[in-house]
């Protein structure tokens, strides 16, 4: 008899309680050892868990398993993005309250420890104030450390809990039994301020990190906002307004001018222009007529359209973009901090060294064995405090981010700053990135010798006609001609033909402005001279606008998106940094090639949809390349989310800015190589900091254990161990601050 195949379920849930990258690893490890869990992947940046389970466990059971180790699962009927935002905001507010409370209570402890260390009441006051700092405001460090220990896990929380609790317990003993030390001629050593300050600083870092994480879902929220909430459905009896969730396949939908297309489908009736820049990134509207495909989220600019719904909800192209952005953000594991990687080994090793130190002193220490053993063991734990290790990375990152901000480079993600120096491939969008994203008239040809009109009269005609059009190219023509003081011309019988151009009568004569193909369809004779213009225009990636009367060509205007001045130099700089540069654009092949040739890019692709850009980047990553993406539009959001390092132009769309982890405030291309160089300098500083932090521990721990006592009689008092700990932290901070003086060019 065949056994029934198990049924698997897969979903994504927000996770609460995570405060470091090691937390994400702990959640994965615990769940993979939980019965019924087939696969578990945690993204710390977005606080989400992707999990596959069978019938032996439920989401409620997964939540219970996580609660046992101090984490939790948000099981909600609302959208994932909204649930994540609520969970992250709740985490942030809780950390904020804990950090603020701990800081307020710690301030007098620090004052007492610095200026009144020999005042006996000061020790008692510090003891009373330290209790709420550690065991109320910082209780989550201790509860999680205990819960993780039960599962054989350890992270930075373990190290913080251990060092602060030992310092507190030892200080409490010294305060309660001060005569023990006084009888030996020693001042009772207390470390209440060290325990409190460590906890406050660590909590502050976690709070700031959580605050940054709450912004990661903004892009998804704005992408979802591109979908209309309501729409008009056509029925046999008339029209009805329905919510987007109620639309069904094959429904007939009416979309009026100024409204967004709610579904992917086909035009049944009507003609219009659609703004599809969210898909292609190009500023030119696309003409739509019966039989043409339309896509959800695009904007209807002119006439009314009746469309048939062929894809709805998550099946639409926009829905797929939203899904892919979620997957791209959720699939990339955060860069593990070195301190988190070694904590699982470092913590038990330090504990064993402290225990061994105490044991050796008890065996070989003679008459002072107990006091020297306790002092040395505590010195080991204090000198091994995670401050230097904990500060090594964040201080360099903070200074690096500040240096970037000074240079108009806003970095909101530490991982991107760390990864930037490893970039081997950089993908550029065209419109708005390499170019200014604003069409302008760059060339014009007049055939006045073939007509009775002079150039000024032709320009007046063209201005009068284009003023009646809302097309972006028309706006460029108007901007070009408005300052010439041309005579006013009255236009009658104005017509707008989507995908072709415009026409109107002036003094009884009909004039046409639009594409070459439309002119030919009107039977207008095109002379050899204007036709020769096309080759020149193609080389410059220009779009041609033709002005004709009913029989002949009067003028041809070349319109182009102007290239940024330093584009070629930036591409060359990137190439010198051994970075391969690629161009991906939603524009046609000819302008893509023209721009690529002008800036020196040999690898480019045209007519790219958002998914094409994302898949191209995936392909580069599969080749082992670290990929940076630079873009500015909604259509770039998916690719930006997929890239290892995402860079947005400051003048770009809000969605691109939200997805990207680095923003070039002034949209200056020269900032791209500067950002990569800043990453190199920052990572170099991190490595120096970690080196000195490890050297400090390698030297300090044996000395604190009493290694020098047999030969030189040197025994480090915990007070001096604390000072050494502070000095190591100061050296790390000082080294990080050196970055402020470095040049980026």
Alpha helices in 139-184, H assignment, sequence order: 139-150, 156-176, 178-182
Per the CB < 8 A criterion, the answer to whether 303 and 272 are in contact is yes
- Cα(513)–Cα(718) distance, rounded to whole angstroms? 86
> In 3D, which of 596, 586, 599, 601 has the Cα closest to residue 639?
586
Which helix (DSSP H) or strand (DSSP E) does residue 395 occupy?
helix 387-406
Dihedral in degrees, nearest 10, Cα atoms 726, 732, 736, 738: 90
Q: What are phi and psi of 525, to 5 degrees?
A: -80, 120
Instruction: Show the CA angle centred on residue 701, arms to residues 201 and 393, nearest 5°.
Output: 35
Pairing of strands 553-563, 435-446: antiparallel
Residue in this structure with the two tokens 């459905």, named with its chain if needed: 233
> In 3D, which of 695, 18, 699 has the Cα closest to residue 334?
18
The alpha-carbon radius of gyration of the chain (Å, integer) is 34
> In 3D, which of 602, 137, 198, 123 has the Cα closest to residue 390?
198
- Cα(392)–Cα(304) distance, rounded to whole angstroms? 61
Q: Please state the length of the chain.
A: 745
**Structure token digits, residue 544:** 């041609």
> In 3D, which of 682, 665, 649, 655 has the Cα closest to residue 215?
655
Per the CB < 8 A criterion, the answer to whether 496 and 270 are in contact is no
Active site residue 54: no
Per the CB < 8 A criterion, the answer to whether 377 and 350 are in contact is no
* Residue 350, helix vs strand vs coil: helix
Q: What are phi and psi of 154, to 5 degrees?
A: -150, 140
Per the CB < 8 A criterion, the answer to whether 455 and 554 are in contact is no
> In 3D, which of 88, 93, 65, 87 has the Cα closest to residue 75?
87
- Cα(619)–Cα(484) distance, rounded to whole angstroms? 51
Per the CB < 8 A criterion, the answer to whether 312 and 284 are in contact is no
**Structure token digits, residue 449:** 């010798």
- Cα(440)–Cα(479) distance, rounded to whole angstroms? 8
> In 3D, which of 419, 357, 427, 341 has the Cα closest to residue 631?
427
- Cα(458)–Cα(445) distance, rounded to whole angstroms? 11
Between the alpha carbon of residue 445 and those of residues 477, 524, 544, 547, 553, the distances in Å are: 13, 17, 10, 10, 10
Residue tagged active-site, from 413, 429, 561, 644: 429
Per the CB < 8 A criterion, the answer to whether 413 and 401 are in contact is no
Per the CB < 8 A criterion, the answer to whether 659 and 219 are in contact is yes
> In 3D, which of 119, 106, 102, 59 has the Cα closest to residue 83?
59
- Cα(524)–Cα(735) distance, rounded to whole angstroms? 74
Return the active site residues: 429
């Amino acid at each position: 008899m065949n056994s029934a195949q198990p049924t698997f379920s897969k979903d994504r849930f927000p996770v609460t309680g995570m405060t470091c990258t090691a937390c994400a690893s702990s959640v994965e490890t615990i769940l993979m050892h939980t019965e019924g869990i087939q696969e578990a992947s945690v993204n710390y940046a977005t606080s989400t868990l992707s999990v596959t389970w069978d019938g032996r466990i439920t989401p409620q059971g997964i939540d219970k398993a996580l609660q046992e180790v101090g984490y939790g699962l948000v099981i909600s009927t609302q959208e994932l993005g909204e649930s994540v935002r609520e969970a992250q905001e709740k985490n942030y507010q809780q950390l904020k309250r804990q950090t603020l409370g701990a800081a307020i209570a710690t301030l007098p402890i620090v004052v007492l420890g610095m200026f009144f260390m020999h005042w006996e009441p000061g020790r008692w006051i510090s003891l009373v104030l330290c209790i709420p700092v550690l065991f109320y405001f910082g209780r989550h460090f201790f509860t999680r450390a205990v819960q993780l220990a039960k599962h054989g896990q350890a992270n930075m929380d373990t190290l913080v809990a251990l060092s602060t609790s030992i310092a507190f317990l030892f200080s409490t003993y010294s305060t309660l039994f001060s005569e023990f030390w006084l009888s030996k001629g020693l001042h009772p050593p207390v470390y209440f301020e060290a325990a409190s300050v460590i906890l406050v600083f660590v909590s502050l870092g976690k709070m700031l990190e959580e605050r940054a994480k709450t912004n990661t879902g903004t892009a998804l929220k704005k992408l979802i906002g591109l979908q209309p909430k309501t729409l008009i459905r056509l029925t046999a009896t008339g029209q009805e307004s329905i919510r987007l969730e109620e639309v069904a396949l094959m429904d007939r939908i009416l979309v009026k001018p100024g409204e967004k297309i709610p579904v992917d489908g086909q035009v049944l009736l009507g003609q219009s222009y659609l703004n599809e820049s969210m898909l292609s990134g190009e500023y030119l509207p696309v003409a739509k007529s019966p039989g043409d495909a339309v896509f959800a989220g695009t904007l209807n600019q002119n006439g009314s359209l009746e469309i048939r719904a062929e894809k709805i909800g998550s099946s639409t192209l926009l829905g797929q973009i939203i899904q892919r952005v979620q997957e791209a953000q959720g699939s990339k594991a955060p860069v593990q901090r070195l301190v988190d990687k070694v904590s699982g080994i470092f913590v038990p090793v330090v504990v064993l060294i402290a225990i061994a130190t105490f044991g050796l002193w008890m065996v070989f220490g003679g008459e002072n064995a107990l006091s020297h053993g306790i002092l040395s063991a505590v010195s080991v734990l204090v000198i091994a405090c995670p401050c230097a290790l904990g500060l090594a990375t964040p201080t360099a990152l903070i200074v690096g981010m500040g240096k970037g901000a000074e240079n108009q480079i806003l970095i909101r993600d530490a991982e991107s700053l760390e990864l930037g120096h490893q970039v081997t491939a950089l993908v550029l969008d065209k419109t708005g990135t390499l170019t200014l994203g604003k069409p302008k008239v760059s060339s014009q040809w007049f055939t006045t010798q073939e007509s009775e009109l002079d150039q000024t009269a032709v320009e007046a005609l063209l201005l009068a006609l284009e003023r009646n059009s809302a097309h972006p190219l028309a706006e460029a023509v108007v901007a070009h001609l408005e300052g010439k003081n041309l005579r006013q011309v009255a236009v009658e019988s104005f017509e707008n033909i989507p995908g072709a151009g415009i026409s109107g009568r002036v003094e009884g004569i009909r004039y046409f402005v639009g594409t070459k193909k439309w002119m030919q369809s009107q039977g207008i004779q095109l002379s050899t001279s204007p036709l020769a213009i096309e080759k020149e225009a193609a080389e410059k990636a220009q779009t041609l606008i033709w002005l004709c009367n009913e029989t002949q060509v009067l003028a041809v205007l070349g319109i182009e998106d102007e290239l940024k001045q330093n584009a070629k130099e930036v591409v060359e700089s990137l190439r010198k940094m051994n970075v391969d540069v690629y161009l991906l654009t939603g524009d046609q092949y000819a302008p893509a090639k023209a721009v690529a040739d002008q800036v020196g890019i040999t690898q480019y692709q045209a007519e790219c949809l958002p998914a094409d850009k994302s898949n191209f980047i995936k392909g580069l990553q599969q080749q082992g390349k670290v990929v940076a993406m630079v873009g500015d539009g909604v259509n770039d959001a998916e690719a930006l989310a997929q890239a290892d390092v995402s860079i947005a132009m400051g003048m770009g769309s809000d969605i691109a800015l939200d997805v990207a982890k680095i923003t070039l405030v002034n949209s200056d291309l020269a900032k791209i190589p500067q950002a990569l160089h800043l990453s190199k300098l920052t990572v170099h500083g991190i490595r120096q900091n970690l080196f000195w932090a490890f050297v400090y521990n390698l030297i300090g721990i044996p000395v604190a254990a009493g290694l020098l006592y047999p030969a030189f009689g040197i025994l480090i008092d915990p007070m001096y161990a604390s000072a050494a700990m502070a000095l190591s932290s100061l050296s790390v901070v000082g080294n990080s601050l050196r970055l402020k003086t470095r040049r980026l060019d």
